[in-house]
Structure 1
Amino acid sequence: MKPDLREALQSRILIGDGAMGTYLYQMGFPVGISYEELNLLKPEVIAEVHRRYYEAGARFIETNTFSANREKLSKYGLENEVEAINRAGVELARKAVGDDAYVIGSIGSIRAGKRKNIRTAKVKEDLKQQIDILIDAKVDGLLFESFYDLEELLLAVKIVRKTSMIPVICQFATEGTGTTQDGFTLPDAFAKLQHAGADVIGFNCRSGPNGLLRSLEKVAGMQDIPFSIFPNAGIPDYVDGQYRYAATPQYFAESALKFADLGARIIGGCCGTTPEHIAEMSKAIAGYVPSGTQAGDQPEQAGFAPLRLIEKDAEHEQPVPAPKAEPTLVDLVKQRHTVIVELDPPRDLDIGKFMEGAKALKEVHVDALTMADNSLAVTRMSNLALGYLVKEQHDLRPLIHIACRDRNMIGTQSHMMGLHALGIDHVLAVTGDPARFGDLPGSSSVYDLTSFEIIRMIKQLNEGIAFSGKALKKKANFIVGAAFNPNVKYLEKAVQRLERKVEAGADYIMTQPVYDPELIVKIHEATKHIDTPIFIGIMPLASGNNAEYLHNEVPGIQLSDEVRARMAGLKGEEGRAMGVQIAKELLDVAMKYFNGIYFMTPFLSYDMTVQLTRYVWEKANRRDFHLYPLTK
């Protein structure tokens, strides 16, 4: 007979299972259905998922009941099936795994980060209903996961502790900010939950291993309560209508050891993880030896390891043509090497360092400063406002990213009209990362337009036609760029997608960062039939950890084994110096094949992109800057 979960965690690390929802999605079940209803409709499928995780080494098995509360089920007309779905979820998990596994009742947040959308009395009522059913169904513990607010999580724990001493695990969804969404510091939130009766506290979702590791570091001194960690498999990429995750099983194995060093006692996976991720973590943890002990001091069991604390032809008036503009980036890149530098807008209200960076980049004659549109769905200062300031204060051409995610068609046209009024005419049209993976997961992803459609719509403004097809009194003069990700298995398919963007009207192309000289040559060969100029993306690496994070967790970025090996273990000035050196070697190849160079500045370290811009001009033998229209 296995010990109580709390007793087991005193001396063992317990391997948790991985994702249920995204794994079912990978198996072919579409978004938009209730995955919890599959407990009743497809019980054999749910049982098989549990069995796969168990065979991979998981001994902490979550029931498929994350959204099986009355509020969430009511969206599918299933509000009267709460008890049936939850009881089936427990029974399926119990029968699918061995007696040595702990079957844990999974309960998700009802508010899901939208703090004012449901009355507290309703939240309490729905939580209590699910809690009572799962306890009565004899689960080995309760897992409250993906909670954003301390208030709702405390409410859940207090409901349990009024009637039961069942083990309770509480997990926040966080991205490493150090606070809950309702403003409590993580140490304070952990202390309040422990006082309320939580047995294990930790993090899941929102971030990959890197982000949750940062969160765990903020509370690692609280060694009197076990931690649990269930990261996502990086940030999802949306490719050809499907979500895909980049983090590999091996990366998860390495991360599991780091979590163990910080005192994590339950380690599993969240969105995007699979039995393969769990299997690799299980292997890594099985060989984990605590400080001061020797391998073999304690018997090994599967799933455990010793603990170490440590288009439109509308009739309309002839619009007034746009005034003749300065030479565009497209004009320049067809004549000479041309440099675009990306500088991230700040996440707070202080623009001092950003403007210092813009000034420094102006002084080395970059041709444009480009600003993302809340990249990775993280809220940043308006790039429109910063673009205007850069243009007015530093006479530097702004290139503004426009994401389909944040604005509907009304807002997008309004935004473009505002850019036109400010004299900002260079933009990059991108899809945008899904909002639910950013810092405000309760917000909506709009996606009224695809990246292809938004390119066509913006070019339509250049014809003096509104998105609605009505005539405008003037023509805009937008130069529209498109994004291109060459870091894919089948480059020819990515090029076919790129060709569609060119057909939609893209004037130039900006690639994701490339870290392999051979890939640069392949890009040239694969795209030389395309007349549209391409700016090769190069982002200098700042440290070994930065390299691993980008490779494993950020969609669209892939580093070569050689680059990762060269960056391994480096940090600080040493890491930045190596990052610049690697970027220069990439430039040696890129400048042979492409006039367009697109630098991305890591962590606002603009001194790195300043160095690289100078390097481009030196290689191009460009000394007489007055001969060229550099900026505007």
Structure 2
Amino acid sequence: MHFVLLSQEGGDLNFIDIKLDSCLRRNDNKEKQMKKDFLTTLAEEGILADGAIGTEIYKRGIFINRCYDELNITNPQLVKDIHADYLKAGAGFLTTNTFTANRLALASFCLEESVAKINKAGATLAKEVAGDNAFVGGSVGPIKWAAKSELSANELKKVFEEQIKALAEAKVDAIILETFLNLEELHIAYLAARNVCKLPVIAQVSLKYTGEEEGFVGLQPAEAARTIDSWGADVIGVNCSDGPLGVFEAVKIMAKATNKPLSAMPNAGMPKMVQGRLLYLASPEYFAEYARRYAQLGVALIGGCCGTEPQHIREMKRYLKAIKPTGLRSDAAETKITIHSEISDSNKIPPSEKSAFGASLSKDFPISVEVDPPLGINPQKAIEGAKLLKDLGVDAVNIADGPRAMARMSPMALASLIKDQVGIETIVHYCCRDRNLLGMQMDLIGAAALGLNNVLL
């Protein structure tokens, strides 16, 4: 098909012949490239997903007797606000508000004829918020629980196909099959997705972790990973389950069973009843620490499930800034930490060049004496003691870190005062028990900036 445009330049008319089908092909190629970009980005950079949708809807005043999927039509702004909050928190993958938007579940609200409308609306809302800043996954949950009678595999497949087709037609970037409790139903959903679209498929199971002794009850992580891998799913993962620890143990095992990209989206643990409301008590910091552990295992898609909120995703984003999942799978699967200590002789700094105390180590018997930090803000007694020790020929004073488990002046602060006012070498005690990795890194950088070059860990 052709059409002609006329343009005028300097008084002359120019005929521009445009072939419409070539334009359509370019748009189609662009769409195919976008699909490829999701898996490429996942493999090369890793992607942080969003958290719970239902939790946020409930928190914003919509009670559980409502159809949350219908809100895509009846209260679209609320749904967009939730997506926007996750995007602002740092999520690069937004899931649609369509987890139970299948014919069987919607029938409970007399909405079974609105499957396509609700799913397309959900995808459109997420895409409008995501723009070019995030990918959108069409959320599809299990449906057997909503069936009033036993359904055949073919009947289940048709129900899945109806929902997934609507999501695909609304141009989501991937289909995410989540919270499936058994492989049989997940396989039916996977086949339905492959039958109606060519989008990447993320296949996730929910597992039951009971602790170190018993491990997993029922479906096993290795079995799930190998089976889903054999189907050809693009991403294999675990979501919901029993919180971050259970999901960590699961993906640790899955990493040994498959080379496919992994996903991890735990819930916030078991909810507690507080003043008549069910609340999830796992802190954002706790979640973020496990997010970092997932990435260190090589997990490419990390997010949250029930009970997680934008603040969890914001903290996870902060913890994941310096970590990429690519290339860590083979080493991390063994769950051992390898410390690379091979430093060439040319790069080694002799102790005598690190500090004056390091130089004193070449003596027959260097002497240091311990000084406790004050309980308050007055360091004068400790400083006077350091002056006396220096006059007596002591090589260094070592300063304890919170001795007797009491709140005292920071040993780094006191060490800096003594070093400046007395001129004697200090050895700073540093207890790792009360600090996370980021805090330790910050403290050591600060110590170096202050010239405190002797640290006892």
The TM-score bracket by the shorter chain reads 0.5 to 0.7
Structure 1 residues 372-451: aligned runs within 5 Å: none
| 2:305 aligned residue | 270
SS in 2 for 1:9: helix
- Cα distance in 1 for partners of 2:133, 2:52 equals 21
1:193 pairs with 2:228: yes
Q: Verify: 1:279 aligned to 2:321, yes or no.
A: no
Q: What is the rounded CA distance, in whole Å, between the counterparts of 1:307 and 1:20 in structure 2?
A: 31
Deviation, 1:175, is 2.4
Q: State percent identity of aligned pairs.
A: 38
Other-structure match for 1:260: 295
Is contact 2:296–2:323 with CA below 8 Å preserved after alignment? no
- Counterparts of 1:83 and 1:260, CA distance in 2: 36
Q: Which residue of 1 aligns with 2:206?
A: 173
Distance 1:107 1:185 in 2: 22
Question: Structure 1 residue 14 and structure 2 residue 47: aligned?
Answer: yes
Determine if the alignment matches structure 1 residue 230 to structure 2 residue 265: yes
Residues 1:135 and 2:155 aligned together: no
Q: Which residue of 2 aligns with 1:159?
A: 192
Provide TM-score, normalisation by structure 2.
0.61
Alpha-carbon deviation of 1:180? 8.8
SS of aligned partner of 2:319: helix
- Does residue 110 of the first structure (1) align with residue 130 of the second (2)? no
Contact 2:104 2:147 (8 Å CA) reproduced: no
Q: Deviations over 1:528-549 (max 9, x none)?
A: xxxxxxxxxxxxxxxxxxxxxx
Contact 1:252–1:281 (Cα < 8 Å) also in 2: yes
The 5 A counterparts of 1:612-623 are: none
In structure 2, the CA distance between the partners of 1:12 and 1:116, relative to structure 1 (3 Å rule), is farther
TM-superposed CA distance for 1:32, in Å, is 1.4
Shift in alpha-carbon separation, 1:565–1:29, aligned structure 2, 3 A: farther
Provide the residue aligned with 1:52 in structure 2: 85
Q: Deviations over 1:384-432 (max 9, x none)?
A: xxxxxxxxxxxxxxxxxxxxxxxxxxxxxxxxxxxxxxxxxxxxxxxxx
Unmatched 5+ residue regions in structure 1? Answer: 291-305, 311-563, 570-632
- 1:100 deviates by 2.8
Q: Mapping of 1:487-566 within 5 angstroms? A: 565=433
Rounded to whole Å, the distance in 1 between the matches of 2:168 and 2:48 is 22
2:328 corresponding residue in structure 1 = 308
Distance 1:114 1:285, change over 3 A: farther
**2:225 is aligned with what amino acid?**
F
Change (3 A) 1:30 1:307: farther
Aligned partners of 2:235, 2:147: CA distance in 1, in Å?
25
- What is the aligned counterpart of 1:69 among 102, 108, 117? 102
- The separation in 2 between residues aligned to 1:197 and 1:173, in whole angstroms, is 19
* TM-score, length of structure 1 as denominator length: 0.45
Aligned to 1:99: 132
Between the aligned partners of 1:271 and 1:245, the Cα distance in structure 2 is 8
CA distance in 2, matches of 1:96, 1:149: 33
Mean Cα deviation higher: 188-197 or 9-18: 188-197
Of structures 1 and 2, the larger Rg is shown by 2
Is 2:166 the partner of 1:146?
A: no
State the SS of the aligned residue for 1:170: strand
- Alpha-carbon distance between aligned partners in 1 of 2:324 and 2:140, rounded to the nearest angstrom: 33
- Cα pair 2:203 2:236 within 8 Å, conserved: yes
Change (3 A) 1:77 1:13: same
Work out the CA distance in 1 between the residues paired with 2:435 and 2:126: 43
Report the count of equivalent residues: 302
Structure showing the higher helix proportion among its residues? 2
Cα gap change, 1:106 to 1:127, in 2 (>3 Å): same
- Equivalent residue number for residue 19 of structure 2: none
2:416 maps to none
User: Is 1:40 aligned to residue 73 of structure 2?
Assistant: yes
- 1:105 touches 1:139 (CA, 8 Å); kept in 2? yes
Residue among 147, 154, 171 paired with 1:121: 154
**RMSD value over aligned CA atoms?**
2.8
- 1:289 shift after superposition: 5.6
Structure 2, unaligned runs of 5 or more: 1-32, 333-431, 438-457
- Quick one: which of 57, 67, 84 aligns to 2:117? 84
Q: In structure 1, how many angstroms separate the alpha carbons of the residues matched to 2:148 and 2:296?
A: 34
Task: Select 2:277's aligned residue among 242, 260, 266.
Answer: 242
